Amino acid sequence: MQQLINWNEAYGSGKDYAVLYTAALSELIETVPQDTGKKHLDVGCGTGQMNRDMYHRGYETVGVDPSNVAIRLAQSSVSNSDGRITFIAGDIFSLQEQRFDLITCKYVYTFITDKEAFLTRVSELLVKKGVFVLISPNMLTLNDDKKSIGLPDEDVFAQLSKHFITQRKLKDRDIYYFCMHN
């Protein structure tokens, strides 16, 4: 059963979530074809750690999260970004006429209720040679009390494969799904 979380309360109490370390981020960026641009979207950005890292790697980056508390924390962590980091309280359906070369979604997919609509929207927001990277915890490595934050790999892969050419890679305790347009 899906766990309901009050994200504003969680972030307001000082909770933050797992970061993506430098080596993993470098590997993720290497999946993006060299001839695409450097526009990045992080879905479920939380306090914006990945957006800040992507900015420092030369990307123009947007973070979107339903928690206005997380967005305020993300905005307060950025100074002098030349307008190349934007944080939006909302979801990907509130983004208008933007397209991205790289879209990331880490530990969020399990909480999305309409996965079909979400994946359709991701596909619309992605440029032709763009890459969507979904990072999900590997269910086989989760303790029983954490099982609600993951989804079976076969289900995720099947859902993604309806919209994208998808490859997966096990990295540490997570599964990385690298997706491109069909």
- Residue 148: the pLDDT is 76
What's the pTM value of the predicted model, to 2 decimals?
Answer: 0.86
Domain ranges of the chain: 20-181
Q: What pLDDT is recorded for position 34?
A: 80
- Scored b (16 or more CB within 10 A) or e, 98-113 reads eebbbbbbbbbbbebe
- Rg of the chain over all Cα atoms, to the nearest angstrom: 15
- pLDDT reported for residue 86: 93
CB atoms inside a 10 Å sphere around CB 70: 26
Please tell us whether the domain made up of 20-181 is placed in CATH 3.40.50.150: yes
Write the CB contacts of 33 (distance below 8 Å, at least 6 apart in sequence): 129, 131
Note the pLDDT of residue 78. Answer: 84
Give dist(CA 19, CA 76) in Å, integer: 18
> What is the predicted pLDDT for the residue at 13?
55
Q: What is the mean pLDDT of each run of 10 residues along the chain (182 residues)?
A: 53 58 78 85 93 92 93 86 89 92 94 95 94 91 80 94 93 89 78
The reported pLDDT for the residue numbered 12 is: 59
| Backbone torsion region of residue 100, taken as left when φ is above 0, otherwise alpha when ψ lies between -120 and 50, otherwise beta | beta
